[in-house]
Amino acid sequence: MSTLQRLLILGSTGSIGASTLDVVARHPQRFSVHALTANRNIDKLFQQCQAFHPALAIVGGAEDAMQLQARLRAAQLRTEVAHGADALCQAAGSGGCDTVVAAIVGAAGLLPTLSAARAGKKILLANKEALVMSGALFMRAVRESGAVLLPVDSEHNAIFQCLPHSSGSGLGVERLILTASGGPFRTRPLATLADVTPDQACAHPNWVMGRKISVDSATMINKGLEVIEAHWLFDMPAQRIDVLIHPQSIIHSMVVYSDQSVLAQLGNPDMRTPIAHALAYPERIVSGVAPLDLATIATLTFEMPDMARFPCLRLAFDVIRNGGGASAMLNAANEVAVAAFLAGRIRFTEIERVIGATLQGMPAADASSIEGVLEMDRRAREIAQATVKHLSG
């Protein structure tokens, strides 16, 4: 790998992508930007191209690609523009970059992230769906290619920092504890949850995130997905991974050892900390995050998650216990349900109903091939869409 890391940021206009570029801008001697990608937000992508001069920008559709290319040429920028899923996969596996930041939200990020793994890249993984949908496939690709996989999710990055190295096997590790804020409805009366609006669900008390992941935090299904991710990342049985609500979001996760030592990683709730850690690993660099003032915070509290309040988390744990390909179905149904909620088609409390109906509506199929995973994803979306139509009709 070259001294100057050449970055491809998959999903550069989202919150993770923007935070990554903030860190990169602080260290021009260490990082260069080879390519940036976005789906439809070409205004922000154009601004990022002006600031970082990538060789390549990729968008979702041909019309947006033409518009962006015209704006770049008018600004006398040499950035080339491509579009579509194939362009993402080609860029992720190309020789133009050596580090891929996988920050596309949802199943759309699976194939380009898998391409990066197969090409042996250094991967900064923020797209948990790559492991939720195809954990065994993805980890095998990493092993066979010699790719370097570094977690960027704050919880998994915290665990990574608390382990002797990236695997928890045979190192006296007894349990992993993923912390969760509990989201905006941790104490809201249960009877009022049906009246929650999308804006209320997206108003996270600690983190600034995109709308889809903010809703996932409000239902706490994100924590179930993170348990699945941690299982694959750290080779840890799901039965030895716990979830603990920690409203202050200062302790980002913990590792319990067999001698009952508990190691925790602390920091302000700012994604630039895990991003900077992964970018520079095994070194440490300035992230731009404010120092942690424990005296001002004064109190850290913890509680167990209430499954009656967070039924989506309960569904996720059911899937984890059942194993197989059910996690791909869980992810697909959740994406459909959250999109329907954000569009005003279903109530907040009906997200769980869509996911549950999907899991009951089809058996978990073979997840040993990427074709099988994608077919399961497609069928689950069909069932979920039908359930949404029924609920909203």
Q: What is the pLDDT of residue 128?
A: 84
**Distance (Å) of CA 242 to CA 23, 146, 231, 392:** 31, 30, 11, 35
**Distance (Å) of CA 29 to CA 23, 33, 124, 196, 321:** 12, 12, 19, 47, 46
Q: In what order do the strands lie in the sheet with 173-180?
A: 241-245, 173-180, 251-257, 262-266
Domain 324-393 class?
Answer: mainly alpha
Q: What is the pLDDT of residue 167?
A: 52
The model's pTM: 0.92
Q: What is the pLDDT of residue 168?
A: 47
- Pairwise CA distance, residues 11 & 252, whole Å: 23
Give the rounded distance of the alpha carbon of 305 from its chain centre. Answer: 21
Taking alpha carbons only, the member of 67, 209, 222 closest to residue 129 is 222
Q: What is the pLDDT of residue 105?
A: 83
Measure the CA dihedral 240/246/251/253, to 10°.
20
Tokens of 20: 């990554």
Question: What DSSP string describes 138-160?
Answer: HHHHHHHHT-EEEE-SHHHHHHH
Q: What is the pLDDT of residue 367?
A: 75
pLDDT (tens, 9 = 90+) of the chain, 393 residues, equals 447 999 999 999 999 999 999 999 999 999 999 999 999 999 999 999 999 999 999 999 999 999 999 999 999 999 999 999 999 999 999 999 999 999 998 888 999 999 999 999 999 999 888 899 999 999 999 999 999 999 999 999 999 999 986 454 557 999 999 999 999 999 999 999 999 999 999 998 877 788 998 999 999 999 999 999 999 999 999 899 999 999 999 999 999 999 999 999 999 999 999 999 999 999 999 999 999 999 999 999 999 999 999 999 999 998 988 766 789 999 999 999 999 999 999 999 999 999 999 999 888 777 788 999 999 999 999 999 999 999 997
Q: What is the pLDDT of residue 325?
A: 74
Q: What is the pLDDT of residue 186?
A: 94
The answer to whether the CB of 350 falls within 8 A of the CB of 389 is no
**Residue range(s) in the chain whose domain bears CATH number 1.10.1740.10:** 324-393
* Residue written as token pair 């049906």: 194
Q: What is the pLDDT of residue 166?
A: 47
Taking alpha carbons only, the member of 74, 106, 111 closest to residue 91 is 111
**Residue range(s) in the chain whose domain bears CATH number 3.40.50.720:** 5-151
Q: What is the pLDDT of residue 1?
A: 40
- Pairwise CA distance, residues 117 & 122, whole Å: 8
Confirm or reject CATH 3.90.550.10 for domain 5-151, answering yes or no: no
**Distance (Å) of CA 369 to CA 221, 254, 280, 319:** 25, 33, 33, 19
